[in-house]
Structure 1
Amino acid sequence: MLSFTPYPKSQSIKEILFSSLAAGILVYLFLIIFQPFGTESFHHPYKYLILFPYTIIFGSSFFASDLCTSRFKNWNIISELLKILLILFLGSTLSYFYNSLFISHVALSFENYCYMFLYSLSVGIPISAIYILSRYIYLNSHKDIPQNNTLEQIETSEHSINTILRISANNTVLTIAENDLLCVQSMENYCTLYYLESNTVKKIWLRISLSNILTQIQTQKIKRCHRSYIINIGKVKNIKGNAQGYKLFLPEIDFEIPVSRSFISIIIPELQHLRT
């Protein structure tokens, strides 16, 4: 669904400042090139200088909004669109006061503000579309998690509780400590469990569906990451990729575990939390 489509957020002040400045400059270029809404009939020796503050107004609106929303979690495309609407509202309000008090010198009125808001929408919507698309492409290719980044392994202290997982499949009952489970791989009607026993990797085949086994073993660390995999995120050592596809690596096993796009918003924040 559109509302659950993840939209990347930037934690870089430099990137936020640059993208906000670019959005403000686009507004200025739109005004001086196309000269909409009576701008063409506005004659003044310093016309282009008078129009320049709109760059600052909208650039500041983008910067303030991006800076605030960078603190939110589970950001998606609907959240981004609502943020853009807030930016246009803020930009139109500041533009209205600037135009009324310093350019037109007219009395303030709600009707005039509505016109300014509509003008801001007309200019802002195409620019916002460019802004959203270009940032999506850029941030996806410059994720905060670099390729082959080593995650800090969280060791279990002697005072912590090692949860015991009990798995029942047909006539088989398997008991595994949570910290010993590595991953579960599904193959048709069977699942292969990879786990540690005396620091040696063991695996066992069970006739059980992945969804069934997940209901028995899911914990804060044991989560589904793909339609064919369950992962113990506490055992993940390396991660690479971006929002188009992540791969998880466990030092105990010799294959990579994919993360489906639908599970990225669940798995990746948990891995980031383990690093902090």
Structure 2
Amino acid sequence: MSSFTSSPYPKSESLKEILVSSMASGVSVYLFLIIFQPFGTQNFNHPYKLLLLFPYCVIFGTAFLIVNIFTYRFTNWSIGAELLKIIIILFLGSVFSYFYNSLFLSHVELSFENYFYMLLYSLALGIPISVIYILSRYIYLKSMHENIARNISQQLSGNPLSIQPKALKISTGNAELIIHENDFLYAQSMENYCTFYLLENDILKKHIIRISLTGALQQIETTSIKRCHRSYIVNLRKVKIIKGNAQGYKLVIPGTDFEIPVSRTFIPAIIPQLQQINN
């Protein structure tokens, strides 16, 4: 069970994605309440019933937004982390919902016992739906990415590594690096520095230069050298194995022991490019 909960799981990669998913989460809660009317909602009679239920949309959408912004920078996201995130969202949403329901709808005395019932309602409503969604999304994405990765890897294994030599020049205010496209493997960004990895005579070498990844890409981007992640640039012609999981893809280059991640935002550009370059 622990190995399953530690399985990679995709998370929001941009603030725009978080905002859209938060709005969708809130709307989903609202639609569920007005369509199925659970937990006595059907007995709540009021001429403005639909309007009075709408704040639950705002409440759970806001809870989703707060927790996702807090976890935005976390790495190595897993199913277990996603489930824990959902529980925290439901807990936070239940707190806001309890005060709204007690102060504006039911007008009942605030008490821990009444809140406990609200918490149970939130968990009973949210956990089953969330678990079904998380597991179905995990199975679908994992299967799709693994199949695509397997097919591309079969194509990559039969193609030569070499390309027409081309000099790549990387210049900063006080440093300059000239490398050949045949030797370049990938670059990794670390704050204000970039580490460039080269393979010369089967020996892995690296050079560190004070430059942003965007600045480096502007100088060395070609048809095969592309950005695949907010922290990585890769030479697609050097990729010989591609691995897929629920989060997306990882690229493997011979001569290195590191798997280069591909962000979901770059998948639509990188995967077709890999297929085109190696065909």
Runs of 4+ in 1 over 2 A off after TM superposition: 129-142, 150-154, 178-182, 234-250, 266-269
Task: Tell me which residue corresponds to 2:66.
Answer: 64
CA contact (8 A) 1:8 1:139 kept: no
Aligned to 1:113: 115
Contact 1:236 1:248 in 2 (8 A): no
After TM superposition, the structure 1 = structure 2 runs for residues 158-173 of structure 1, keeping only pairs within 5 Å, are none
Partner of 1:248: 252
> How far off its partner does 1:248 sit?
2.9
Q: CA, structure 1 residues 235+39, in 2 after alignment: closer, same or farther (shift >3 Å)?
A: closer
Question: Aligned partners of 2:185 and 2:245: how far apart in 1?
Answer: 18
Q: Percent identity?
A: 55
Unaligned runs of 5+ in 1: 155-177, 183-194, 198-233, 260-265
TM-superposed deviation, 1:235 = 11
> Which residues of structure 2 form unaligned runs of 5+?
146-151, 153-183, 189-196, 205-231, 264-279
Q: Output the aligned Cα RMSD.
A: 3.8
Highest Rg: 1 or 2? 1
Q: What's the secondary structure of 2:11's corresponding residue?
A: coil
For residue 249 of structure 1, report the CA deviation from its aligned partner.
4.3
Matches within 5 A, 1:1-276: 1-129=3-131, 131-133=133-135, 136=138, 152-153=186-187, 195-196=202-203, 237-238=235-236, 242-243=244-245, 245-249=249-253, 267-268=259-260
State the shift of 1:110 in Å: 0.4
Conservation of the 8 A alpha-carbon contact between 1:26 and 1:127: no
Cα displacement string for residues 167-221 of structure 1 (whole angstroms, at most 9, x for unaligned residues): xxxxxxxxxxx96578xxxxxxxxxxxx159xxxxxxxxxxxxxxxxxxxxxxxx
State TM-score, norm by structure 1.
Answer: 0.55
Other structure's SS at 1:246 match = strand
SS in 1 for 2:38: coil
Residue aligned with 2:250, SS: strand
TM-score scaled by structure 2? 0.55
